[in-house]
Structure 1
Amino acid sequence: MTTNTTFQKLFEPTQIGAWNLRSQIAMAPMTRSFADPTTGVVGPDVVEYYRKRAQDGIGLIISEGIVISPRAKGNPGVPGIYSEEQIEAWKPVTEAVHQEGGTIIAQIWHVGRLSHHELTGGQAPQSASAIQAEGQIPRFRKPYEQPEEMSKKDIREVVGQFAQAAKNAIKAGFDGVEIHGAHGYLIDQFNSDISNNRSDEYGGDLAQRLTFMKEVLRAVIDAVGSDRTVIRFSAFKGDNIDYMWKDPEAAIRTFIEAFRETGTTLIHPSTRYFTQVLADGKTMHQLVRKYWDGTIIGVGDLDPGTAEAALNEGTIDLAAIGRPLIANPDYIQRLKTDTSLETFDPNQHLLTLV
C-alpha cells in the first residue's frame, strides 16, 4: 500500500480551544435534512453517518445546522436541539463519535427570514427588518415569505434561545458549539445592509449592526466558554450569491473588533472560493489573518493541496472539508494511501446518508 507523504500538516494532531484534535482536518457543517420532519429528532442513520467520519480520523466534526427553536427552522427535515426528545436523540451520535476518538461540536442555527410559515409552526419568519428575501426555499420549493421585524423583546428571547441551545448541546454530549452567523441567516440579516434598515441600536453602520451578533456571542460564551464557542461569518449569502462587502478589508476589521470585544477566540470565516482574492492581493482568510492571531477555521471548496499550503503558511489552523466528506467517509484514509477520491454527485449523495 502506498503511503502519501504530500499532506503532512493535514494529518498532524493539534490543540484548538478546549479540544485535542487528531488531525487538522475539520468536517464542514452540511445540511442533510434527515431528521424527523415533524419532531426534528435524529435517528440511527445519523449516528452512523457521524461515526464513520470519526473513524476516519477527522479532527473536528462540525454538525449540520441544528435549529434553536421551532421558528428558527428553514428547511424540512432539519434537526433541532430545543426539546428533551431532540437532546436525547443526539446523545447516541456524540457517544459514537467519542467512542471512535473523535470530537464533535453542534452548529446552532436560526434561519430568520429565509423560511415560510409552513415550516415555522404557522408563525411568520423573523428578521432584523420586514424585508422579504428573493428566491425560494431549497428542498421546499416555495418562495421566502415576508418576515416580521423583531422587537427588542423578540431579540432578547432569541439571544436566550441561542444560549439555551448551547447548554443543550453540552447536555447532549457535544464538545462545543458553532454559532451560524453567516450565509444570509438571522445573525447575518442583522449584520447586513440589505436586510437591516433599523434605526435603533441594532441598525446603522456595520459596527452598530453587529450588536445582535455580539449579544449572541456573549450569551453563548457565558453558557459554555470561549474555548468551546466558534462563530461562523461571511459576506456570502445563500439568497444573494453575488453580494460582497463594499470594502472587504474594512468589513473584516470591523468583525474582528467585535470578536475581540466579546472575548471570542475561535472563528470560521466562510467563503465560496478559498482562493478568491478580495483586496490588497489577499484572499478572505489572508485578510482575516492580517488582523487576527486567534484560531481560524478555513473553508471554501478546499482541495487537499490548497489546504496543506494554507496550514503551512499559517493562514488557517484547521481546514474544513465539505462535500468531499459526504462522498468519501474514508477521506483521510484515501489521502494517506494515495487513493483517488470519489466525486461528489448531488443526485446521489444528497439523497442518502453514507
Structure 2
Amino acid sequence: MNHLLDPVQLNNWKLQSKVVMAPMTRSFADNETGIVGKDVVEYYRRRAANGIGLIITEGINPSLRGKGTFGVPGLYTDKQIKAWQKVTDAVHLEGGTIVAQLWHVGRLTHHELTGGYAPQAPSKIKADGLVHRLRKPYESPEQMSFHDIQSVINQYSLAARNAKAAGFDGVEIHGAHGYLIDQFNTNVTNKREDKYGGDLYQRLTFMKEILHAVAKEVGPQNTIIRFSEIKDDLPTFKWDNPEITIKAFIQVFKEIGLKTIHPSTNNFKEVITNEMTLHQLVRKYWDDTIIGVGNLDVDTANNALKEGTIDLAAFGRPILANPDFVQRIKKNKKLTSYNSKNLLKKLY
C-alpha cells in the first residue's frame, strides 16, 4: 500500500496526498524588486495540479536585509503581495495547499545583496566561506541590538500578515541551516549575555518570540517551524547532546501551540544518537505532525509513514525533475533523474 498517496486532513488543511514539496531556493524573482512573475505561478500550479499535498515555497525574505543571494522573493511590499496572490490563486484552483517559508539569512550575506546594509547576527562573528552565487567572502556582521531584534520580529509578523493577505494557507519559519534564527540558537554563533544568549533554552528565546509573533497572525495550527543540526557554513557542526537539544526545542514549540514541525537533515536514515535517527528522536517527544525530509526515496518514505515516525514526506529534487511526481508514483512509472545543469537554469 502506498501511504504517500493518501489524502489527509491536517488541522485546517485538506491535503490531496501526504507528499510535501520541500522548500527550494530558485532565485527567479526580480532581483531588484523581489517580485515573482508568471513563470513562478506556473511552476507551483503544475505541482498542485499533479496532486502534491502541501507545497512549501522557496525561502521568502521578510525584509531586504534578510536576503542572501540573487533573485530571492520578498513579502514586505504591496506589489510582492499581489504577485504572490496569483501563485496562491493558481494553486488553490488546482486543489492544492501552499505555505510561505519566511527566511532571513542573518550573517550569511553581503552588503551588495541587502541594499548596502551590513549583515545582522546575534554576535559579531564572521562566517567562513563565500556568499552563495555572489562568490565574495562573507562580511563581518553587526551584532543586533535589542531594538534590531524587535525590528526583525516585527518584520516576521508583518510578513506573516502579508502572507495571509496574499492567500497563503500558512507560514513556515526557516529556523535551520545556520541562518539568522539558527545563529541565535547555536552557541558557536551566539555569545550574547542578555536574555537572547546564555544556555540553550535562553538562546531559543529569539526563535520563540518570532514563532509567537507569526502564530498570532496566522494561527499556531498554520505555523510550521523548520529546524536542524545542519549549518550551511559549518559543515562539521554537531549538537553536543542531540536528545537534550531536541527536548528544549520541542518545549518551545509546545509552549507556542504549534501542531506541525519540520526537522531537517540531509540523510533521513542517519543515526543521530542512541541508535535513533533525527526523526525518530523527535517522535519520541512530539505527538503531533512531523514532516520528514532528507533525500527520501518512495520506499523509505512509505515505511516511515507506516511506522508513524513521520506524518508527511517532503521531496525536493525529485519534484523539481518530475512535476508529475505524484502521478508517476501512482502509476508506478520511473522517475526522471535530477540534472542540475538543466533544472537550475529555468523553472520547469
Aligned partner (choices 226, 237, 240) of residue 232 of structure 1:
226
> Aligned AA for 2:253?
F
Whole-angstrom CA distance in 2 between matches of 1:261 and 1:99: 35
Identity of aligned pairs, percent? 60
Deviations 1:104-137 (A, max 9, x none): 0000111100000000110101011110111111
Q: Does 1:17 align with 2:11?
A: yes
| Equivalent residues of 1:269, 1:285 under 8 A apart | yes
| Equivalent residues of 1:112, 1:185 under 8 A apart | yes
Aligned partner (choices 13, 20, 35) of residue 26 of structure 1:
20
> Aligned AA for 2:270?
Q
> Aligned AA for 1:35?
A
Secondary structure of the structure 1 residue equivalent to 2:131: coil
The residue number in structure 2 matching 1:3 is none
Aligned partner (choices 128, 142, 152) of residue 148 of structure 1:
142
Secondary structure of the structure 2 residue equivalent to 1:47: helix
The residue number in structure 2 matching 1:314 is 308
Whole-angstrom CA distance in 2 between matches of 1:332 and 1:261: 35
| Runs (5+) with no aligned partner, structure 1 | 1-5
The residue number in structure 2 matching 1:138 is 132
How far the C-alpha of 1:196 sits from its partner, in A, is 0.4
The residue number in structure 2 matching 1:288 is 282
How far the C-alpha of 1:242 sits from its partner, in A, is 2.0
Secondary structure of the structure 2 residue equivalent to 1:30: coil
| Runs (5+) with no aligned partner, structure 2 | none
Q: Does 1:158 align with 2:128?
A: no
How far the C-alpha of 1:264 sits from its partner, in A, is 1.8
How far the C-alpha of 1:337 sits from its partner, in A, is 1.1
How far the C-alpha of 1:17 sits from its partner, in A, is 2.5
The residue number in structure 2 matching 1:172 is 166
How far the C-alpha of 1:16 sits from its partner, in A, is 1.4
The residue number in structure 2 matching 1:66 is 60
> Aligned AA for 2:14?
N
| Equivalent residues of 1:113, 1:125 under 8 A apart | yes
Aligned partner (choices 283, 294, 299) of residue 293 of structure 2:
299
Q: Does 1:259 align with 2:242?
A: no
TM-score by length of 2: 0.99
Whole-angstrom CA distance in 2 between matches of 1:28 and 1:217: 20
| Equivalent residues of 1:65, 1:107 under 8 A apart | yes
Q: Would you say how many aligned residue pairs link Structure 1 and Structure 2?
A: 348
> Aligned AA for 1:168?
N
Q: Does 1:211 align with 2:202?
A: no
CA RMSD of aligned residues (A): 0.8
Whole-angstrom CA distance in 1 between matches of 2:331 and 2:86: 31
The residue number in structure 1 matching 2:112 is 118
TM-score by length of 1: 0.97
Whole-angstrom CA distance in 2 between matches of 1:53 and 1:22: 11
Whole-angstrom CA distance in 2 between matches of 1:88 and 1:324: 29
The residue number in structure 1 matching 2:90 is 96
Of the structure 1 ranges 37-46 and 255-264, higher mean CA displacement relative to structure 2 is found in 255-264
